[in-house]
Amino acid sequence: MKTLLTTLALGLSSAFAAPFSFVALGDMPYGGKPENYAAFDRLIATVNRTAPSFTVHVGDIKSGSTSCADAELLKVRTQFNTFEQPLIYTPGDNEWTDCHREKAGKFNPLERLAFLRSNFFDGKQSLGKTPMPLTTQPNYPENSRWTKGGVVFTTLHVIGSNNGLERTPEMAAEYFPRNAANLAWLLQAFAQAKSSDAKAVVVFAQADLWDPAPLSPTSGLIDTVNALREQAKAFGKPVLFVHGDSHVTRLDQPFNTYDDSSAPNFWRLEVPGDQRVAAIKVTVDPEDPAVFAYRLLLP
């Protein structure tokens, strides 16, 4: 009887996933001044005290008008590695796409992208003091995927500045294969969620996909918007899209506002950023129909 009860207890514990939390942040530190890095350090300390399962930075580790030099980027990598828990990062436009700007140092954006990939992504695990293993996409190590508590998480390298499309022929040539890779990676995440009967899917990217709205049919973001809509509709369970870019903290249902109401299970969370140094703690309860709950974290 004791053995039977133990077996039943183990079965029940495995059937119900325990709640956990993660932290989302982005568009920081907008460096150039020591106090901006110091504010980010204080926020990291707050996150460490909160002890989430992991933290995700959704890109823009500098402002668009500050230097893209190696030292500036590596300074943030050093800060990333002060997170006690795993830190997953997906790039923003400010740290490579927009580095051609005079104030940013007039760098070749494609060279800056190569630098990011070689210094922030090893294709195997996250950053942070206690890295966790990640499944990553061949040739696009910044695109990662992992699961926890019956929830599938994935990052997509989708950025502001029209996703890097159109400024030069070289940038357009970079965009098209990356866009195709992003779409394939997104479909793989939802395929895994369906096959594993996941409770929810969370997608992280830098770009605000609804700025401006409605998007032009030739926008560098439109394919991602369409894929998210169709995959969310087909999945039917909670889908959360987490991004930065516009510096407007919000939780809403953009398909209802800008498109149609055919994906009522889709929500987007935009994190604070720029001069508002803060983060969002997301509590995940796989057994709650809503799955997600949110709280603002301040330094």
pLDDT for position 191? 99
Domain boundaries, the chain: 18-297
**In the prediction, which pLDDT does 262 show?**
77
In whole angstroms, give the CA distance from residue 200 to residue 267. Answer: 11
pLDDT at 8: 36
pTM: 0.94
Second CATH level (architecture) for the domain 18-297 = 4-Layer Sandwich (3.60)
Q: What is the edge-to-edge ordering of all strands in the sheet holding 292-297?
A: 87-89, 54-57, 20-25, 279-284, 292-297
> Taking Cα atoms as reference points, which of 236, 240, 206, 210 lies closest to residue 222?
210
pLDDT of residue 14: 41
CB–CB of 130/155 below 8 Å? no
The predicted pLDDT at position 236 comes to 97
DSSP-based three-state secondary structure for 223? helix
Segments of the chain scoring below 70 in pLDDT: 1-16, 258-261
55-92 pLDDT, tens per residue?
Answer: 999 999 999 999 999 999 999 999 999 999 999 999 99
